[in-house]
Structure 1
Amino acid sequence: MAASHRLPAAIRAPFEARTWRALLYVLIGLPLGICWFVLSVALVSTGAGLLVTFLGVPILAGALAMCRGFGAVERARARGLLGLDVAAPEPVRGRTGGAFSWMGAMLKSGASWRHLLYAVLHMPWAVFSFSVAVALWTWGWSLFTYPLWQWVFPTWVGQDGIQLYGDATHAFYLDAPFELAVTSLIGLVFVLVGPWVLRGLVSVDRLLVSGLLGPSRLASRVTELESDRGVVVDTAAADLRRIERDLHDGAQARLAALAMDLGLAKEKLARDPQAAAVLVDEAHGEVKLALQELRDLARGIHPAVLTDRGLDAALSAVASRCSVPVSVDVDLPARPVPAIEGIAYFTVSELLQNVTRHSGARRAWVDVWRTGDRLMLQVRDDGVGGAVVGDGGSGLAGLSERVGAVDGVLAVDSPAGGPTTVTAELPWRA
């Protein structure tokens, strides 16, 4: 494999499996395209002609269902030969579950009509691509290998070679060594150009399959929003569990201990004032610790400095608590909406925690700026690198889901040995 890649791409292309799969896709596409076209046009025309009677409705609905079946075959063919994975469109379901409801839903389905459009458009394109591919392939390899089979003509045909010109008195055959070499060279040009022409042809098939046989943009967007809503709900539930756990294990436990200490101090106040004073002093220390934990918890929910002064001051406060020196540069013309501002704050906070826990860095940098209608965040460090989304130690998977829930993007560039650069892109929504 390594040796083959030392050859230029133009020389490798005729022999690559990708090229032969594309050729097979084009060859199979013609008979299938004719079949899809004939059946679809025949049934749809029959159904449309009979719409004046009730018989046209089930025929037309059945024709559209058949076209969806053709689409399933085409998606499987594109997936197997072109490596194009197109999701199936949303299924057709009637509201009541009966046959009439199903027929109505089928006739109203935009995906079904797109499948019919594919069956109509694909046939002429399949004829064109088949003709071009077969002509290039057969002429290219035939001319390229002509010196190997030129002997067929004098032996079996009774002429010296391929005849380029001939009349009653003159004839010109490709039989001299120079002519054989030129013919083979022309064939080589066709052989080398053919794969690229073939890939251009199947790129049109890719557009047809992905544009007409997949789910609509609206359906894809609805699915995406449903997934994002699930992520938001799960994140909110996880945050509530974290807050409950922190309150139960932290401030609540300290307040319970404080109540017990004050109760003991109250009992000893009359008998042993000195011991009561010691208990009150310990309770005072517990109050300070409980207050600090409550402040940390409130800061983790939504820090007051973020609400009052914005990202610049809030991120500077986070950087000051980081175990490594952090340079913060926030260049924003205004403040984004509070929800985006909060996500930006917690994204940078989580990334700086990763720097502290996992990177082994000596320094980190935080940059925040606006580009068009997007809020850009970038956290860099000079650590050991190797961070990937999905690594349970880094928490980047959950962070990516949280950013993606608001139509954001998280990109991680962390080669082994460092440095690490994590860039988050959020909508501005001011």
Structure 2
Amino acid sequence: MATEYGQGYGLPAEPGHPGDAEGRRHRLPAALRAPVEGRTWRELVYVLLSLPVSILLFTYAVTMVSLGAGLLVTFLGVPVLAAALAGCRGFGSVERARARGLLDLKVGEPEPLRAKGQGLMAWVGAVLKSGASWRALLYAVLQLPWSVFSFVVTVTLWSVGWGLVTYPLWFWVLPAYGGQAGIQLYGDEQRQIYLDNPFEIAVTAGVGLLVTLATPWIVRALTTVDRVMVHGLLGPSRLATRVVELESDRGVVVDTAAADLRRIERDLHDGAQARLVALAMDLGLAKEKLREDPQVAARMVDEAHGEVKTALQELRDLARGIHPAVLTDRGLDAALSSVASRCTVPVQVEVDLTERPAPAIEGIAYFTASELLQNISKHSRATWAALEVWRAENRLMLQVVDNGVGGADTSGGSGLAGLAERLDAVDGILVVDSPPGGPTRVTAELPWRAERSR
């Protein structure tokens, strides 16, 4: 995640911070408070509802698929089978909502149907070709046996646990109305063993307490399987998720390129272009003055010469901002050393690469290091910094460390947030470790792509 310097340095935690409140709110250990937590009861409700829901879903799926399969000898079997899959997709929406409300599981919608054309047959073909439809059918089949198992285990443990832990409150019912001294552990024609004395009643309640304390964790383990099934079978596939990520990354790349073009146009218009226009006007005036007053014309030409040098420097700086020539000619080592020399604090540069990455990756690494060093100059109040680049298997690693004040905060949005988006667009990662008081360590990770012909 990206982090910006200069935000939240050295500030103590505010009263009422969520983390502090969380630590003060729970006085009891998790094992003791689990039976009465809201999460435990929501998971219990989820398991209890799963049985009737799974019975309904299983019955619908098996009936419709069997009917569709039986009618495949006629044309009607295909639309019936498509209707069965569509119904399973609808049940999947209900199950995602139930998991979101009771298990706090946020699962995205599966990939939508992509019908090639209009009409009933186009829709039928889209349903039958959709992997999400068949995963929903598989969920309908697998959910029933698992729901039966989890229902039986959960109801048994909850009833036994709470029944035993409350035994001291209701054991008198058995001799008064049940015709026996207490809970019977063993009995035959010669001997019966009952839990009827105070010691046995206390031990029974203790066993019930252990079962009650263990039950929430067992139920949580059971609902973990439900979470996996809902996420894996009713959510978007990995391929669809990857396509969405690539589309998002493509949008980031396009927006970044457009922003860079606007910046270049603005720099040219406000900088070099305006200076060259003024230079042309000054040279025109000098030309007119050349015969009337040669000394004034010479002075104006001298001033124009200075303007030419300034304009050339601005153009060089602009070209360096687009893509520095030293990076193309000599690689990251020389280019990063040049950037480090312009930093306001001493920077130790170490580049350990036996070969050069692809130009695109090399350029992203260069501009990442440039922005990180610029942030050090502006915000960190550091007295030294280190820049290191190396290759780790199929990744290009770049790390910048400084001894500044630290305490960087990621909540307000920053230039580094945009930098993280740029890295993410090429499957890169930006990780920031910046505790209050420093040091700050920023690590960028990029995919390694070998250099081709330049």
- Taking structure 2 as the reference length, the TM-score comes to 0.91
Which amino acid in the other structure matches residue 287 of structure 1?
Answer: V
3-state SS in 2 of match to 1:172: strand
Deviation at 1:222, TM superposition (A): 1.1
Cα distance in 2 for residues equivalent to 1:386 and 1:255: 45
Query: Given that residues 4 and 12 in structure 1 are in contact (C-alpha distance below 8 angstroms), is that contact kept between their aligned partners in structure 2?
Result: no
Out of 380, 384, 405, the residue aligned to residue 425 of structure 2 is 405
Out of 36, 43, 47, the residue aligned to residue 64 of structure 2 is 43
Deviation at 1:390, TM superposition (A): 5.9
1:73 alignment counterpart: 94
- Please give the root-mean-square deviation of Cα atoms over the aligned residues, in Å: 1.5
Alignment of 1:35-184 (within 5 A): 35-184=56-205
Please, which runs of 5 or more residues in structure 1 have no aligned partner? Answer: none
Residue 24 (1) aligns with residue 45 (2): yes
1:414 alignment counterpart: 434
Cα distance in 2 for residues equivalent to 1:327 and 1:15: 57
String of CA shifts for 1:339-387, please: whole Å, max 9, x gaps. Answer: 1110011011111111222222222222222212111112222223343
Which amino acid in the other structure matches residue 267 of structure 2?
Answer: D
Larger CA deviation: 70-79 vs 353-362: 353-362
Residue 342 (1) aligns with residue 339 (2): no
1:263 alignment counterpart: 284
Larger CA deviation: 140-149 vs 229-238: 140-149
1:287 alignment counterpart: 308
Cα distance in 2 for residues equivalent to 1:33 and 1:404: 40
Which amino acid in the other structure matches residue 395 of structure 1?
Answer: G
String of CA shifts for 1:259-284, please: whole Å, max 9, x gaps. Answer: 11111111111221111111111111
When the two structures are aligned, how many residues end up with a matched partner?
429
Cα distance in 2 for residues equivalent to 1:114 and 1:139: 37
1:367 alignment counterpart: 388
Deviation at 1:329, TM superposition (A): 2.0
Deviation at 1:425, TM superposition (A): 1.2
Deviation at 1:419, TM superposition (A): 2.9
Cα distance in 2 for residues equivalent to 1:302 and 1:4: 54
Alignment of 1:203-218 (within 5 A): 203-218=224-239
Deviation at 1:242, TM superposition (A): 0.6
Residue 233 (1) aligns with residue 248 (2): no
Query: Given that residues 389 and 400 in structure 1 are in contact (C-alpha distance below 8 angstroms), is that contact kept between their aligned partners in structure 2?
Result: no
Query: Given that residues 88 and 215 in structure 1 are in contact (C-alpha distance below 8 angstroms), is that contact kept between their aligned partners in structure 2?
Result: yes
3-state SS in 2 of match to 1:102: helix
Cα distance in 2 for residues equivalent to 1:66 and 1:368: 54
2:31 alignment counterpart: 10
2:294 alignment counterpart: 273
Cα distance in 1 for residues equivalent to 2:359 and 2:25: 55
String of CA shifts for 1:43-66, please: whole Å, max 9, x gaps. Answer: 011001101111111111111110
Cα distance in 1 for residues equivalent to 2:354 and 2:91: 54
Cα distance in 1 for residues equivalent to 2:23 and 2:364: 46
Residue 427 (1) aligns with residue 434 (2): no
2:244 alignment counterpart: 223
Query: Given that residues 48 and 60 in structure 1 are in contact (C-alpha distance below 8 angstroms), is that contact kept between their aligned partners in structure 2?
Result: yes
Which amino acid in the other structure matches residue 357 of structure 1?
Answer: K
Deviation at 1:3, TM superposition (A): 5.2
3-state SS in 2 of match to 1:51: helix
3-state SS in 1 of match to 2:249: helix
Larger CA deviation: 55-64 vs 363-372: 363-372
Cα distance in 1 for residues equivalent to 2:349 and 2:333: 8
Query: Given that residues 163 and 174 in structure 1 are in contact (C-alpha distance below 8 angstroms), is that contact kept between their aligned partners in structure 2?
Result: yes
Please, which runs of 5 or more residues in structure 2 have no aligned partner? Answer: 1-21
Deviation at 1:211, TM superposition (A): 0.6
Which amino acid in the other structure matches residue 397 of structure 2?
Answer: M
Which amino acid in the other structure matches residue 402 of structure 2?
Answer: D
Larger CA deviation: 357-366 vs 265-274: 357-366
3-state SS in 1 of match to 2:228: helix
Query: Given that residues 312 and 330 in structure 1 are in contact (C-alpha distance below 8 angstroms), is that contact kept between their aligned partners in structure 2?
Result: yes
Deviation at 1:22, TM superposition (A): 1.3
Which amino acid in the other structure matches residue 82 of structure 2?
Answer: A
Residue 194 (1) aligns with residue 233 (2): no
- CA separation of 1:165 and 1:3: change in aligned 2, threshold 3 A: farther
3-state SS in 1 of match to 2:112: coil
Cα distance in 1 for residues equivalent to 2:286 and 2:417: 50
Query: Given that residues 390 and 396 in structure 1 are in contact (C-alpha distance below 8 angstroms), is that contact kept between their aligned partners in structure 2?
Result: no
The structure with higher relative contact order (CA 8 Å, sep 6+) is 2
Which amino acid in the other structure matches residue 93 of structure 1?
Answer: R
Cα distance in 1 for residues equivalent to 2:417 and 2:111: 28
